[in-house]
Structure 1
Amino acid sequence: MTALTRRLAGALCAAVLLAGCTPARAPGPSGPSASAPAGDARPNIVLVLTDDLSLNLVRFMPHVLALQRRGTTFTNATVTNSLCCPSRASLLTGRYPHSTGIFTNDGIDGGFVLFHRRGHENSTFATDLQQAGYRTALLGKYLNRYQPANTLGTAAPYVPPGWSDWHVAGNGYAQFGYTLNENHVVRRYGHAPGDYLTDVLSARASAFIEESAAARTPFLLEVATFAPHSPYTPAPRDAGAFPGLTAPRGPAFDALPADPPKWLADREPLTAGERARIDDTFRKRAQSVRSVDRLLAAVQATLARTGVAGNTVVVFTSDNGFHTGEYRLNPGKQTAFDTDVRVPLVIAGPNVGAGRTVAAPVQNIDLRPTFADLAGIPAPPQADGRSLTPLFAGPEPPWRTAALIEHHGPDADPTDPDRPRPGSGNPPSYAALRTPAYTYVEYVDGSREFYNRRVDPHQLRNIAAKLPPERLAELHRALKALTTCRADTCRTADRVTG
C-alpha cells in the first residue's frame, strides 16, 4: 500500500468517524498499453454508475443536483434494457442487446460468462481508452455472475482486458461481507462500519485519482456502486434518515393503465401490507443513495485538490430505473414503462454547457462513442450508438428520434438477484420504441401498447387498439428496423418519423 493510499483511506475514516475502517489497496503493476505523453491535455473521464437508481431518488442527492447546475442534464435518457447485465453490456460495448446477445443476467442469453465467451471484453470503452494511453479503473460492480475468485483458466483471479486497476466485487448487494478482486488478489471484507462497500469504493476512487494525477496520465475511472439495489442497505450513519418517508403517490401509483397488456391485466389493487413494504423500500433506497452522493462529492473534491477538475468530464447515471407501486406493481424493474427505462444522466466538465437540459433521446450505447470522442480517437465502428459531444453545448444537431428497449422474459431463475418477486412485474419478451412523444411496445404474446406521453405522461391510457392499421404497420416496421440494425444502419433506423 502506498503512503498516499494510506493517507486517503485514513482521511476517509476520520471524516466519517467509522471504527475499524479497512483501507483500500493500491493498484497492481499493470498500466496502459501505450504510455501517454507528458502533459497530455486530453480530458479525464469519471463515470459514476449506480444500480437501480430511479429518477425519483435524485432529489435526495444534493451533490447530483449541484452537478446538474454545473453541467448538462439529459431529460430523455434511456437504457437499452431495464435489467442490470444487458444494460451494462450495452454501456461497455456501445451496442444494443440484439448486437451483444446479452438480454438477461445469466443462462443462454445473458450474464458475465456469455459476455466473456462472445469476446465482448476485447472491445469495450476500457480497451479503447487504454490503447489510447489512458490509465483505466473499474471499481465496484461489473456484470452479473462475475465472481472475484473466478480464474477462467488463468493463473490468478481474472481481470478483463482494458483495465489498469480492478477492484470488483461479485455479490456486493448487501454492502457487507463481500469479496473484492483487487488486481488479481481476492480480499474478504467483513461487517465493520468501515467495510461498507460504497465507502470502500469512494476511498479507492480518490486514491486512483491521486495516483493518476501525480503520474500526469489521463485516466478513465468507472465507479459502479451496488447501491441502491436490494436489499437497499444504507450506510450505518444513514439508517435513521428520512423517518416517515413514503413512496410517491403519483397518478400511476396503484393504478392500472386502460387496456393493460396481458401480463399486467390481472393485478389487483395493492394491499395495505404491500403499500407498507413499498414505503419501507422507498425509504431505504433514499437512505442508501446518501452514501452514493457522498462518493460523488469525495471524487469531485479529490479532482479539485489534485488540480485536474478543470480537465475532467464527470458522468452520473444508472443502469436502469425502478418502480415502487406504480401500475399496482411491487418494487421491481424490467418493464417498458418510463419508471424502469428512463434514467438520470448528467454530464459536467470542460466544453459542457452549465445548467442546460437536453431533450434529445440518448441511450447508454452512446457513452462508448462519447468517451472515444473525448479521448480524440475514432469511434468504434461496431458501436450502435453515437457520440453525445455534439449535444454538450450550442444548438442541438440532427439526432435520433427514437430509442430502442429490448427485453427477454419472464425471468424464472431463482438464483438471480433481480428475479421479480411476486407482484413486482415479470413481463414476457418485448421490444419497444420510445420517442419524446410516445412509447410503443410489442410483446411476444401479441400484446401491444401505445402511450401518447404528450397528453398521457404517466402512461395510463394504452390506445394501441385504437390506432389505424396503417399506423400500427408503420410502427411495426420502424421497430423491426431497429431490432435488426447494426452499427451504421442503427444511426439511420433510429430516425423514426411520426
Structure 2
Amino acid sequence: MPKTRAILKEGGAFFPNSFVSTPMCCPSRSSMLTGLFVHNHGVLTNNENCSSAYWQAEHEPRTFGAYLASAGYRTGYFGKYLNKYNGSYVPPGWRVWAGQVMNSRYYNYTINFNGQKIKHGADYQTDYYPDLITNDSISFLRESKQHYDHQPFHLVMSFPSPHGPEDSAPQYSDMFFNVTRHRTPSYDFAPNPDKQWILRWLGKMKPVHHRFTDLLMTKRLQTLQSVDEAVEKIFSELVALGQLENTYIFYTSDHGYHLGQFGLIKGKSFPFESDIRVPFLVRGPGVGRGRVVQSLIGNVDLAPTFLEIAGVPVPPHMDGASIFRFFQKEKVKSRAPWRDTYLIERGKMPPAHFPKLNVVEDVPNNNEGTGKFERWAVECRKPQYQSPCSGFQKYECLFVDERWRMKKCRPTVHKVAKKKWCQCKALSKYRLSKLEPEERRMQRAFLKEHTRHVDWRGYRPRFLKTTAAASAEGSVLRDVAEDELEQVELIMEDISDEISDLEVILIGFLLFYFFPFTISFLFSGSDGSEKRFQQHGTRKPGHDCPLNNSDGKLNCQIVGQSRINCSSEVYSDPATWRLSRDFLEQQIRILRVQLDELKVIRKHLRAMRPDKTHAAISNKRTNSKSKSKISSSQSLREARNEERLVRQANRRKIKEERQKRRQKKLSRKRAMVESHNGQCNYEKMNCFSHDKDHWRTAPLWNDGPFCVCMNANNNTYWCVRTLNTTHNSLYCEFITGFVTYYDMRIDPYQLRNIAHTLSENQLAFFHQTLERLRVCKGADCFVNTHPSAAKLLAANGPAKSDPEEGKNASYHLQSSHLLDNGRLAKVKPRRDGYWRRSKRRERQTPDVVASSSAAA
C-alpha cells in the first residue's frame, strides 16, 4: 500500500507495537468502540452477545460516537459494524449512519442508511462496497464543510478488506501473483508438540494447501488496493476543503491473521504476533513526520484518545488510556510512566453469561445512565413491541405514569364479557358473574350452616358466564381445534409423500437387482402414472466410495418427471446397493410408525372437537347485541382462515428453500466424499471445506476441494504481552491449564515454547499479573511493571531458549500446566486432547477521521 505509507507513515507517526484485546472481529470492534477489554463488554465471540440486546442497552449508548455526538460533533459511520448487526436500528451517537448488515461482503449486501435498508447487487460500477464507502465518506466531508462548517466532525470508514470472500476490484485482479511474504520461518512449521492441543494435532500442509495460501495472500493484497486508493482520495479531499491541518487521521485494523503459520492454513484467533499485532498510523496537528513510537498501545486506547482530542473528559469506566501524549514532539515529564503490559484474551461464552444476551431486565444496574427504565426504553422501540397489538404479536409496550410498561397481548373476544363487582338483577339474562369478597363470605357461611353433612374441604364455587361470552369462547376453541387438526393433516401429507418417494427408489433398487442388464425400463407408480428409472454412470475400476448413511442422507433423489438419479456407486458396488436398500427400508418403517401415530392423534382431535350444535342453540337465545358480537367473531374466523392460507403458502415456500439448501449442502458433501473420503468433520474441531464455488471473482480457485481445520473448542486463553527495557515476551494460560511463554527478543516467530525455562518467581509474577488483568476495570487495567518486579525478573535473568534444549524437551513442554500455587506441573495428556493433573487542555477542537481496515 504505497499511498498509505507515503501519506500516513512518512507524513505522520508509526506505532509498530500496537495490539488488539482479542484477535476476533466483533469482540475487537466492541473494544474499539467502548474502550473496554473483552471481559468488561462481554462480547467474547463473533456470535454470542455480538450486537445483542444486552450490548445495545448496556454498552452501545457509551461508545465514543455517542460521547462525541453529545459534545457537538457531527459523526458519521460508513462500512462494516458488528458481525451480528441486523440493520433494524441506528446505533445511538451517529448523525449519519450507513452500516453494513451482518458480516463482510463486497457484493450482494444490505446497508442501513439512516434507518432505511438498501440492497445492493453485483455490479462493480454501483455496488462494490469499498468504493461505496469511499464515495459516501467524501460526500460526508463535503456536506460537513458546506452546511456544518461551524461544527467539528468525526468520520469512521470501516472497510471489509481484506476480509473474506476477498473480492477485489477488477483492475487489481492481475496483481501480486507469486508473492511469498507470508512464508515466514513459522510457515508450515509443524507438528508442534510444545504448543497447544490443536497445533500438536496438525501436521505438515499438503501441496494444495501451499497453493491455496499463496492465492489467498494474492487476493487479500488485491482487495487492499481499494483501501490504499481510498486513503489517497480522503487525503486529497481534506486538502481541497482546507481541513487537513486541523484533522487527525488514524489507520488501524481489528486484528491480524495467519496464513500457513504452524500448519494452520488460514485464521486469526491464535495468540501469535501475526494475529494480535495490527498496523497503527496517525497523522495530524503536532504529530511529527516519520516518527516511530515504540510504546505498547492497544485498540482500547482509541476511544479515550478520540475523546481527549475533542476535549471531552474520558469516562472513568474505560479501560484504555489516551495516546495523545505521543503526538507531541517533546515529552511531558510530569506524565506518569506508560504501560508495559497489555491483556489479550480469547474465549467462548461461559454458561452463566447466556441469560444476559436477550433479557435486558436481568442486566445488573451498575452503570450510570443505563438503568432499568433506560433499557426498557430501548427495548420498547423495537417493532415487535409496538402498540396496539396486531396479528400474532405477543407483547406490547405502553407508556404509563412517565415510564414504559410491557403488557401481554390478548384476543379481542376475551373482552366480550366484562367482569364487574356487582350482583346482577335476578330476572336479567345474566347469571351471577362475580361476587364481592364480603358477599362471598356471607354465602359460604349460609351454605355451611344449612348443609351440615357436606364435606367442604374440596368446595370450589363456580359462576356461569354470559351466553355471548361462552359462544365467543366456543368459537375460539373450535378454531384452535381446526388449526391443530390441519397441522396434523399437513404433516401426514408430507410423511405420505416421503414414503411414496422412498418406495419408488426402493422399487428401482429391486428391479435393478433382478434385471442387472436392463438400462432403462418402465414401472407403475403409486399414483397410476408410469415412472422411468435410468441407470447413470458406469463402474470406475479401483474406485470404492461407501455410501454415507451415518448422517441420515441418501445419494439418490427423484427429479423431473419422477426420474430417479443415484450416484454411480449404488449401481456398481453390491455392498453399497445393499446398504442403500436397507437404509430405505428402515426409513420407510420409521415414517410409517410416525404416520400411524399421527392417525391416532387425528382421530382423537376429530372426536374431541367442540360441538357446534350447542353454540347454535346458545345463539338463538341471545338478543341483537349478542348477534352482532357473534357476527364479529365470524369475521374474525374469516380473517383467521385467510391468515391460515398465508401461513400455509409461507410454509411451502420455506420447505422448498430448505430443500434447495439441503441439496446444495449434499452436493458439497458428495464432493468431499469423492476427494477426501468424507473426513472434514473432526471432533472438537472447527473445520470447513473449500471448493471452486467459494470465490466468484477473479482470480478463481481451480484446484479442487479440500478440508480446512482452523480452530478447536479448547483454544480459549488469556495472555499478557510485556514490552519494556528488559523484556519483550508473551505469556499465555489456556483453559486446559496449558502454559506458553515466548521471548520475542530471541524468537520473534514463536517457534519454541520455553515455559519450562521460567523460574518459580518468574512464573508466579506473570501468573499474578495475568490474574489481575483478567478482572481489572478502568484505571486498574493500566499496568506498568513495578521496579521491584523488574529487579526480580532481571535477577533471575532472561528465559533460556537454547534451540537444542528446546528440541530435546519438546515432549515435556506439551505437558506444562499451571497449578494454583503458580508452579508448573507435569501431567500426561488424555487421548481427546484435554488435560488432567499427575486535567483538560484548552485548544481549538480539531476534526478526527478514523479509518479502519478489517483483517480476515
Shared topology, TM-score over 0.5? yes
User: 1:53 maps to which residue?
Assistant: none
TM-superposed CA distance for 1:262, in Å, is: 2.0
Classify 1:68/1:362 alpha carbon distance in 2 versus 1 (closer, same or farther; 3 Å). same
User: 1:334 maps to which residue?
Assistant: 269
State the distance in 1 between where 2:739 and 2:708 align.
Answer: 23
Deviations 1:198-219 (A, max 9, x none): 0000000001011112221200
Aligned with 2:710 (options 403, 424, 431) = 424
The one-letter code matched in structure 2 to 1:201 is I
Matching of residues 70-469 of structure 1 within 5 Å = 70-107=11-48, 110-114=49-53, 116-148=55-87, 150=88, 158-171=89-102, 173-194=104-125, 195-214=127-146, 215-216=148-149, 217-256=151-190, 259-393=194-328, 394-395=330-331, 398-409=337-348, 422-426=708-712, 428-436=715-723, 437-469=728-760
Deviations 1:321-374 (A, max 9, x none): 001111111111000100000000001100112101111110000011000100
Deviations 1:251-290 (A, max 9, x none): 1111145711223112111110111100010000000000
Deviations 1:99-149 (A, max 9, x none): 111111112xx311155345211101001100110000110011111122x
Deviations 1:387-440 (A, max 9, x none): 0001113338510001110101488599xx9xxx83334462100011220000
| Structure with more relative contact order (C-alpha pairs < 8 Å, separation 6 or more) | 1
TM-score by length of 1: 0.82
Say if 2:296 and 2:339, in contact at 8 Å, map to a contact too. Answer: yes
State the distance in 2 between where 1:61 and 1:487 align.
Answer: 38
State the distance in 1 between where 2:759 and 2:103 align.
Answer: 49
Question: How many residue pairs align between the two structures?
Answer: 424
Q: 3-state SS of the aligned residue for 2:720?
A: strand
Q: 3-state SS of the aligned residue for 2:709?
A: coil
The one-letter code matched in structure 1 to 2:91 is P
Segment of structure 1 superposing worse, 465-474 or 429-438: 465-474
Q: 3-state SS of the aligned residue for 2:237?
A: helix
Classify 1:258/1:61 alpha carbon distance in 2 versus 1 (closer, same or farther; 3 Å). farther
Say if 1:434 and 1:440, in contact at 8 Å, map to a contact too. Answer: yes
Deviations 1:71-113 (A, max 9, x none): 1111110000000000000000000001111111112xx3111
Deviations 1:30-76 (A, max 9, x none): xxxxxxxxxxxxxxxxxxxxxxxxxxxxxx34323431011111111
State the distance in 2 between where 1:366 and 1:259 align.
Answer: 34
Q: 3-state SS of the aligned residue for 2:248?
A: strand
TM-superposed CA distance for 1:466, in Å, is: 2.1
Q: 3-state SS of the aligned residue for 2:765?
A: helix
Say if 1:82 and 1:341, in contact at 8 Å, map to a contact too. Answer: yes
State the distance in 2 between where 1:305 and 1:438 align.
Answer: 45
Say if 2:686 and 2:710, in contact at 8 Å, map to a contact too. Answer: no
Say if 1:238 and 1:290, in contact at 8 Å, map to a contact too. Answer: yes
The one-letter code matched in structure 2 to 1:466 is T
TM-score by length of 2: 0.48
Classify 1:493/1:486 alpha carbon distance in 2 versus 1 (closer, same or farther; 3 Å). farther
**Structure whose CA Rg is larger:** 2
The one-letter code matched in structure 1 to 2:732 is V
Classify 1:389/1:494 alpha carbon distance in 2 versus 1 (closer, same or farther; 3 Å). farther
The one-letter code matched in structure 2 to 1:264 is L
The one-letter code matched in structure 2 to 1:174 is R
Say if 1:239 and 1:287, in contact at 8 Å, map to a contact too. Answer: yes
Say if 1:485 and 1:493, in contact at 8 Å, map to a contact too. Answer: no
Say if 2:193 and 2:200, in contact at 8 Å, map to a contact too. Answer: no
State the distance in 2 between where 1:88 and 1:136 align.
Answer: 17
TM-superposed CA distance for 1:171, in Å, is: 4.0
Deviations 1:289-325 (A, max 9, x none): 0001111111111111111011000000000000111
State the distance in 1 between where 2:27 and 2:183 align.
Answer: 30
Greater share of helix residues, 1 or 2?
2
The one-letter code matched in structure 2 to 1:355 is G
Say if 2:7 and 2:232, in contact at 8 Å, map to a contact too. Answer: no
TM-superposed CA distance for 1:470, in Å, is: 2.2
Say if 1:175 and 1:233, in contact at 8 Å, map to a contact too. Answer: yes
Deviations 1:452-475 (A, max 9, x none): 101111111111122112211111
Classify 1:119/1:494 alpha carbon distance in 2 versus 1 (closer, same or farther; 3 Å). farther
Taking only aligned residues, the RMSD between alpha carbons, in angstroms, comes to 2.0
Q: Could you tell me the percent identity over the aligned residues?
A: 34
Specify every segment of 5 or more residues in structure 2 that has no aligned partner in the other structure, as ranges: 349-683, 689-693, 695-706, 794-856
Say if 1:258 and 1:462, in contact at 8 Å, map to a contact too. Answer: no
The one-letter code matched in structure 2 to 1:435 is T
Classify 1:118/1:262 alpha carbon distance in 2 versus 1 (closer, same or farther; 3 Å). farther
Aligned with 1:491 (options 764, 776, 782) = 782
TM-superposed CA distance for 1:182, in Å, is: 0.6
Say if 2:304 and 2:318, in contact at 8 Å, map to a contact too. Answer: yes
The one-letter code matched in structure 1 to 2:710 is S
Classify 1:488/1:476 alpha carbon distance in 2 versus 1 (closer, same or farther; 3 Å). same
